[in-house]
Each structure stands twice: as C-alpha cells, then as structure tokens.
Amino acid sequence: MSTVTTAFEKAAAEDRAALVGYLPAGFPDKHTAIKAALAMVDAGADVIEVGLPYSDPLMDGPVIADAVHQALKGGTKIADVFELVAAVADAGAAALVMTYWNPVDHYGVDAFCRDLGNAGGAGLITPDLTPEEAGPWLAASDAHHLDRVFLVAPSSPPARVETITGLCRGFVYAVSLMGITGARQTMSSAAAGVVARIREHTSLPAAVGLGVSTGAQAREVATFADGVIVGSAFVRRLAEAPTQAEAIKAVSALTADLASGVRRS
C-alpha cells in the first residue's frame, strides 16, 4: 500500500477529505521550499505535490508559471526535486512529483522512477501525458511500485474517463474547470460532476484541483470529493512574503485554514 493510499484512507476514517498541497521545488529558493513543505505537513497537509520546474508549463497560470521560471533561473535541478521529496517523506507525509513529461523522458523514465522511489516518493502526477503515450511510464511505475495520477477534465467523455481511471493508482485528479491553474473566488459548478463521473468507473479516491484557495472553498469541495488540491494559493503566499520567516508563517496559516475546511463534521 502506497503512502498516498494510506493518507486518503486515514482522511476518510476521520470523516474529512485529504488535503493535497503543491509547491515547486527551488522556489523562492531550495531551502525555503523545503521549510515551506515541512510547515505544510506540520499544519495538516496529507500529501505534498512537489512541482518539477519546467520551461514550458502549459497548464499553469501566471502565479505558478512565474514561480517555476524563478526556480529555473535560480538553478533548480531534478536532484533538488528529489531532495524535497525526501524531506517530505522523512517528515511522514506522502510526496508526489507533479511534472510535465519531457523532463522525465529526457532523464530516462526508468532511471527517474528508480531515483524517485529511492528518495521516498510515492509516484507522479503527469498533466500532459496521455494514456496512448504512457507505455514507458506504466512499465516503470509497475517495476518501481509507484502511483500514477492522471487527470480527468470536465470535457472527458465516458470512454475516456474509463480509460484514464483504469490506469490510475493512488487517486484520480479531477480537474474542476477547463483552463489553467490559479486561485478563484468561486468554485466551478462542474467539479462535482467530474467527481461523480470518475466514481462511475473506479473506487479510487477523487481529488479536485484548480481554483481552491480558502478554507471555505475546501469545505465546499470536501462535501463531494475525497481530496482537495491547492497550489497557486500556497505559491502566492511564498511569492508575496518579504522574508523567509514570514513566508513559512503564511504557508502554515493557510494550511491550517484549509485543513480545518476539509473536515466534514
């Protein structure tokens, strides 16, 4: 059983949704990213998505795209991603890497999976990898016992949802709206429908991402989803804080608010 599965089962047993928080490795610098991730774990995050900085982040909105650009300018390497994964795993939380496929392919799929597993990582979230192109990843994830998280969008037809959910392990990523990442004032009305369609094809947990930024929004999503994914709101806290100490404090406070929000009772 993977650490991701354990995290979702623990959350369900406590009558709440799992809280999944995203941060890119190396932003605003390597050491602050590690401290921020550990603060998120301490404040109640169940799973940490470690973003692998990439030069062409097509799915990401301006907040994350700018952070990733700064991380790359700062010299962030894949080794730094694995270091952050290891820190999260050592802290007792599940760590997944969120990455576009090109860096994994360039590194070598089997080698990447080997090194991710050695760092304590649970698996990958692959937003731009289609099932038709996923053969090497499917084989390597089986060989190294890693979770694979694919995305289901509001536009995904039933046959596509069945294919995608059949390949997932850990959880299924339910995209709440068509568009790029970013915090929003209100949640998309499509999110509950995407979760319902996922559940027609799998018993895996469904976690909703894109748009959640407050405890109130997390509470809304927790009424129909197994997990709540938050990214841009965390990255904005890091970007806006004038000092490292204030950045960590802001990230911790947001995590606590969200962790309270995902509780259903």
The catalytic residue positions are 49, 60
**Residue 144 amino acid letter:** H
Q: Contact 46/262 with Cβ under 8 angstroms? A: no
Q: Contact 246/28 with Cβ under 8 angstroms? A: no
- Tokens 């059949």: give the residue: 166
Which alpha helices (H) appear in the chain, and where do they start and end? 3-13, 30-43, 62-73, 78-90, 101-107, 109-118, 135-144, 158-167, 191-199, 215-222, 232-240, 244-261
Give Rg (Cα) of the chain: 17
**Residue 12 amino acid letter:** A
Q: Contact 187/211 with Cβ under 8 angstroms? A: yes
